[in-house]
Amino acid sequence: MSRTSLCAVAAAAALAPPIAAAQELQHGVTPLVMQWEAADWGPPTDTPGFPAGLRNAPIATDPETGGPTYLARFPAGSEFAMHWHTHTETVVVLEGAVDIVLDGARHTARAGAYIVIPGKAHHAWFVHGEADAVLLARRDGPADFHFVDP
């Protein structure tokens, strides 16, 4: 490559905005890199319908949809009662194992599993007894919980 070509490439690179800055300007998103093990876990819950001892760590909220992204730590052997949400929820199992009953079918999900729960789909979580389970969850809209009577 000639010296003139190298100068033109360098000048173009200097004028281009950094990728992170472009994303922030376009979507109001701040770049983030985190290790989930270092998350700022909130206090354990004691809310009816939720597993006793469930802890959450908020990560971000989509400024356009209001959909949260968060970590959830479920105690070993806990159960999350049958419920549904208005908006689709996507979940990645980061640690441990859970059974999810989703629209009547039971599935086992271990670390690395990816789960899509469509809006209004009835589902319940059952954490295996050996260890806590940690999930990364994202909603397509604001979080809501509608519990289903047994």
- Tokens read off for 114: 């990816």
Mean pLDDT per segment of 10 residues, for the chain of length 150 residues? 37 39 56 91 91 95 95 97 97 98 96 98 96 98 93
Beta strands in 32-132 (DSSP E): 55-61, 68-74, 79-84, 89-95, 97-102, 105-110, 114-117, 123-127
Phi, psi of 141 (to 5 degrees): -160, -175
pLDDT of residue 26: 54
Q: What is the dihedral of CA 139, 141, 147, 148, to 10 degrees?
A: -90
Q: What is the DSSP letter of 141?
A: S
Distance separating alpha carbons of residues 113 and 10, to the nearest angstrom = 43
- Cβ atoms of 43 and 114 within 8 Å: the answer is no
Structural contact between residues 42 and 57, judged by C-beta atoms closer than 8 angstroms: yes
| CATH numbers and ranges of domains, the chain | 1-31 (no CATH), 39-147 (2.60.120.10)
Q: Quote the pTM value.
A: 0.79
For position 150, what pLDDT does the model report? 76
Show the CA angle centred on residue 8, arms to residues 21 and 3, nearest 5°. Answer: 135
